[in-house]
């Protein structure tokens, strides 16, 4: 862990980390937050730590829903987060997949599709961050591999309370204050 570097951003996978993964979640009515997810983002936001979402969305490529549904769900998530004082600073999604039924989204190995680091690299560049100032939390090995390829420390979240997980993994780097270390 890069304890000597201040934490400036946390990259989050979406399904399975922030929201319960029910398979191709795209309708706000189907959104169920992972315990502690909203509180973790609120604590990070209040401490000035950026929260950035990087999510593969093959449901778009498979024709299950369109990109407008992805944007609508993200807007709904922002509304929920703002009620607790949190926010996501940027959402990145990759709609591309090698088995796409929607031709426009067919790509054998898109640079944004995790385990490739494209979304993370874009987030770093657009926010002016260095990899050493960031961590990524994902629920799949492909998330952690994408982080590694971007030079960012990755943590594998296997479930439970996300706020507790971040406190445990980040230790002193997790912001003090509401939701911070006791």
User: Does 107 count as an annotated binding residue?
Assistant: no
User: Does 27 count as an annotated binding residue?
Assistant: no
Question: Is there a contact between 91 and 122 (Cβ–Cβ < 8 Å)?
Answer: no
Question: Is there a contact between 52 and 10 (Cβ–Cβ < 8 Å)?
Answer: yes
Q: What is the per-residue pLDDT across 157-167, written as a single tens digit (0 to 9) for each?
A: 999 999 999 99
How many angstroms from the chain centroid is the CA of residue 66? 20
Catalytic residue from among 3, 13, 89, 108: 13
SS3 for 152? coil
Domain ranges of the chain: 18-78+85-172
Determine the average pLDDT of the residues in 78-91. Answer: 97
User: Can you give the pLDDT at residue 177?
Assistant: 59
* Dist. CA 124–CA 30, nearest whole Å: 30
Q: Over 50: is that where the pLDDT of 92 sits?
A: yes
Instruction: Tell me the pairing of strands 90-94 and 9-12.
Output: unpaired
21 is catalytic: no
Catalytic residue from among 15, 21, 27, 30: 15
* Dist. CA 84–CA 100, nearest whole Å: 37
Question: Is there a contact between 162 and 35 (Cβ–Cβ < 8 Å)?
Answer: yes
Angle, vertex CA 155, rays to CA 153 and CA 159, nearest 5? 165
The fold of 18-78+85-172 is: Rossmann fold (3.40.50)
Q: Over 90: is that where the pLDDT of 153 sits?
A: yes
Determine the average pLDDT of the residues in 50-67. Answer: 98
User: Does 139 count as an annotated binding residue?
Assistant: yes
User: Does 161 count as an annotated binding residue?
Assistant: no
Determine the average pLDDT of the residues in 128-144. Answer: 98
């Amino acid at each position: 862990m890069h304890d000597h570097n201040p934490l400036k951003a946390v990259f989050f996978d979406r399904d399975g980390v922030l929201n319960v993964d029910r398979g191709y979640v795209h309708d706000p009515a189907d959104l169920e937050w992972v315990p502690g997810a909203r509180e973790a983002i609120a604590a990070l936001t209040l401490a000035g730590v950026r929260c950035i979402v990087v999510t593969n969305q093959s449901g778009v490529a498979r024709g299950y829903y369109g990109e407008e549904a992805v944007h609508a769900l993200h807007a709904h998530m922002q509304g929920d987060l703002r009620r607790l004082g949190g926010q996501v600073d940027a959402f990145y999604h990759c709609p591309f997949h090698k088995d796409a039924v929607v031709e426009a989204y067919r790509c054998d190995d898109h640079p944004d599709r995790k385990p490739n680091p494209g979304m993370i690299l874009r987030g770093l560049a657009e926010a002016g961050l260095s990899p050493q100032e960031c961590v990524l939390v994902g629920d799949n090995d492909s998330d952690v591999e994408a982080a590694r390829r971007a030079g960012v420390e990755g943590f594998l979240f296997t479930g439970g309370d996300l706020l507790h997980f971040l406190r445990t993994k980040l230790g002193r780097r997790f912001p003090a204050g509401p939701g911070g270390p006791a």
